[in-house]
Structures are given as structure tokens and as C-alpha cells.
Chains A and B, each alone.
Chain A
Amino acid sequence: MAEIVFGSNTMQLLIALILVSTFMILGSTRLYSCVRAFGIQSFLLACVAGVVAYSTGKDEIYIIAILTLLFKSIVIPYFLLYLIREIKVKREIDLYVKISPSLIIGGVLVVISYYLIRSINVISELSSFALSASMSLVSIGLFIMISRKKAIMQMLGILIMENGLFLGAISLTNGMPLLVELGIFFDVLIAVLIMGILIFRINKTFESVDTSMLKNLIG
């Protein structure tokens, strides 16, 4: 079943577009456009879940798709935008690695994840695109976390990793049990909330959300 769904043309298109949105996050220097690209990515992920639900006929995956649409592509981006507005952070993201090298590293990560996935022989040929895309999302999310200075971008990086895991889970299992998915959703929401509070605290203590300043001692 998984082979048919993930080998289909629509699915491959959606996954390619998810990769495009990931590179949009990697390639932009503005916080707003990063958050917007994340919203688009989550929307596409919801579409993936919707297609899986449609082709497997399981009702609970529809619920998951709607939840993804609601929380990941609307609530969380709005919360992030609220955060950016509220702490009056400068709109540029500060980088440890410049845009062009980060893009190239992103491309290399995609290739590496493809080779890693290919070495697992259990996977059928057709869903390997989805799996390697999910693997690249996880590694690119990690890369965003370590190469960007702003705390908000680190939050976004972990959310991208979570999206990658979601894609991987849904492409391997064709939808996990509803209870597990709900648990993950709740976790993500709480995590976003806690990270938001943490960012507020960092901003209050250091008057900046630049994580490179966290090394300084404050007496």
C-alpha cells in the first residue's frame, strides 16, 4: 500500500515542494520569510497526510491532516510572528555560515541522506524519495539550529526536524495510531510554548535573542 501511495505522481510533487520550502528557509535572511516558508512547508505536509488519508481510506489520518493544517501551518507560525513582533527583534537573522555555503551544505545533506536511505535495503524503491526527503529535513533542521544565531531560528530548526520526522513516520507506516499522533502534537505545541517563554526570558536577560551572547557571564 505504502508503495502505491508514495510512488504516485502527486506525492512526489508534494515532497519536491516540501524540499523547495526547506531551501526557502535555508536561503532567506529575513525572519518573516523564514516563518512564512515554514508555514508553507507545514501546509504541504498536511497535504501529504491528506493524500495518504484519501488513498488508504483511514478516517483518523484525515484528523491528523486537519490538525497539522490547523496547528503547524496556522497557529505556530502566528505564534512565531507574535513572538518576533513582541520582543522587537531585528528582522535579519544572524548567521554563522553565510547563505551560499549553507545552501551548498543543504544540497550535500540531501545527497548524504539519499545514500544513507539507499543503504537500508528493506525500503522499497518507491517510498525512498519520501524517506530521504524526511531524512534531509531532519539534517537540514539540525544544520539550521547550529548555523543561525537567533534563538527563534533554533526553534524553527527543531520544528523543521519535527516535520521531517512526521514525513518519515507517515511514509513508513501510512499513518501511525491516532493516539500516538495526538501525543506528538501535544508535545510539539507544549515545546513551542516553552521555547517561546524561554526566548522571552533570554530576551529579558540579555536584551537580545542572539544565542552567541549566552556564553557571556552575567553577574
Chain B
Amino acid sequence: MIPALLSVILQIFIILALSPLLSGIIKKIKAFFQIRQGPSIFQPYYDIAKLLKKDSVISQNVSWIFHAAPIISFAAVMTAGLLIPIYITQLPLGFAGDLIAVVYLFALARFFTALASLDAGSSFGGMGGSREMFVAAMVEPALMLSIFAVALNVGSTNLSYISQTLSGMGLDALSPYQILAFVALFIIAIAETGRIPVDNPSTHLELTMIHEAMILEYSGKQLAIVELGAMVKQLLVYSLLANIFFPWGIASAESGIAALAIALVVYIIKIVIIGLTMAVVETSNAKWRLFRLPDLLSISLMFSFLALVSFIIVKGG
């Protein structure tokens, strides 16, 4: 049993500490598949530390939105982090919101990033913002639908209740609707974290970039916050995948210190495995044309729909 304040601090600390590491690990795995040495897995920490020491260069034409957007986005993503079970099902902010709040917090972060990209008035920023909104318009319904499929299965939209129930069910938790919803949510996770085939995180080629185009105007400390926010979001999306679909090994509120430590290790292993899968998907696929993306995301939408339908078929509703 951990006191509430400590659990908040612990969760924030773990999210912040792990998310650059996850990015570094994915980069390293990708480098391995491309037969390169690749940067050290701690490189994202160095990058952020260096960016934090630098001054920002800011366009004269920007309004307060440009300054506020990184902080609002980061705060929204961190708040979502307190609503998602990481290694323990006891949520620091569990009383305040559920899955739907998480979806809207991500949407808030995205909205302000897109707004800031328009603010500086550069054409690249506008392009990135419009592309991001184009993808978001298709990601969000699919995300909602797949999450509802899971929530319908468990009978609650409360994330801590979902992972607790499913981890208590053991292997019985692997039901057809769960599998279909997982496929759907996996595709959404690719789109949400801006990976190939939706977006290429390691390019600055103007024709293809989405996320990079939006944050092109940022530099120095603000860029550090934006980058860290993106990494945290990636970690959170993977945690969502891990703890909704493979919640085994997660600690509950009554666990002792030893059980918590084991749960943390299991969590890190799960996250690294999902990162590995993402890296494999990323290296074995080419980036899709922007106007082919509706196909990919409608596959995801269809799978969430099938998850709902098969739930009704199996349960005979």
C-alpha cells in the first residue's frame, strides 16, 4: 500500500525516466535491423539535456499560443499518464477520469501542437498541422471504438478496473474480441506514435514528415519539452497496449514492495517487447502515401467494429 502523494510522484518519475530510454531502445533495435551501429540507448537523455541548456529562437510573429502550446501539450500528456496503469493498477488520478478522458487528453495535446504549428505562419508548419489533423480525424473514431470493445468486454471504462479484472482472469482473458481490438489498437498505436507506415520519425524530408513538420519552429528548451512530450506519449500508448491486453504481472494496490519491484520489471519487459515489434514493423514496411492512410486506418476501424460484433455474437446479445 503506497500513500497517494507518493504514488503520484513515483508514477511521474517512472514515466519521465523510462520514456527517453524506450525511444533509445527502439532506435537501437532499428539500427540493428539496418546493420548499423546506431546511437547509444541513452542518446535521447543527452539530447534533451543539451536542448534544455540552449536558448530558444522564436519568430517575431508568434502569439502566446506558440509559447503555451508545448507546456499545455506536455501537461495534458502527463495528466493522461496519471490515468493509465503503468506497473500498478492503483491510479493516482483514477477518481477523476477513465479511458475516455485519456483519449481526450491526447486530443488536447494534439490540438495545441497543431495550433502552434499554424501560429508561426511557416508553410511547413501549416502542412504538418493539416496532415496531423487529417490522420487524427481517422485515428480517433477507431481508437474510441476499439477501447469500447474492451470496455464492453470487461464491463467498465475504468482502466485500473480493466487491467485488474483481465489480469485476474489469466489466459481466459484472451477472447476473440480482445484479439480483434488488439489488432485495431496496434494499428492506432503506430499512427499515434508517428511511426512508419504513417509517419517517419527519423526524417526531415518535407514531403513526408507530419510530426516533425509541426515542431519545425521550435528550438532550445521548448523543443526539449515537445520532444519529451512525444516520447512520453509513445510510452503511454505502449503502456495502454500492454496493460489492457497483456495485464499479467501488474501489481495491485495491496501489493508489497517486492511485488511492486517485480511488476516494474515485468512492465519494462512488456514495453521493450512492444517496442521491438514496432521496430520490426517499421523496418519491414515502407512509408505509405498520405492518401493511402485512410485504407490503413479503416482496417483498424473495421477490426474494432468486428470486435464489437463478435462480442455480441459470442455473448448472444
Contact = CB atoms under 8 A, between A and B. Distances in A.
Interface in A14-53: 15-17, 19-20, 23, 27, 29
The 9 closest A-B pairs by CB, nearest first: A16-B176, A100-B298, A99-B295, A27-B299, A103-B302, A12-B176, A125-B316, A103-B298, A107-B305
Chain B contact residues: helix, strand, loop or mixed = helix
A166 interface: no
Interface residues of B, number: 24
Given A23-B303, A114-B313, A129-B313, A16 B298 contact: no
Contacts of B302: 23, 27, 103-104, 106-107
A178 interface: no
Given A114-B309, A128-B313, A129-B313, A9 B295 contact: no
B306 A23 contact: yes
A19 B180 contact: yes
Contacts of B40: none
Interface of A: 9, 12-13, 15-17, 19-20, 23, 27, 29, 99-100, 103-104, 106-107, 110-111, 114, 125, 128-129, 132
22 contacts: A9-B174, A9-B175, A12-B175, A16-B176, A16-B179, A16-B310, A19-B180, A19-B310, A20-B179, A23-B299, A23-B303, A27-B295, A100-B294, A100-B295, A103-B298, A103-B302, A107-B302, A111-B309, A114-B309, A114-B313, A128-B316, A129-B313
Contact of B179 (A13, A23, A110): A13
Contact of A129 (B295, B298, B310): B310
Contact of B314 (A12, A100, A104, A107): A12
A129 B171 CA distance: 20
Contacts of B310: 16, 19, 129
Nearest to B302: A103
Contacts of A104: 298, 302
A140 to B, nearest CB: 11
B306 A13 contact: no
Contacts of B299: 23, 27, 103
A45 to B, nearest CB: 16
B290 interface: no
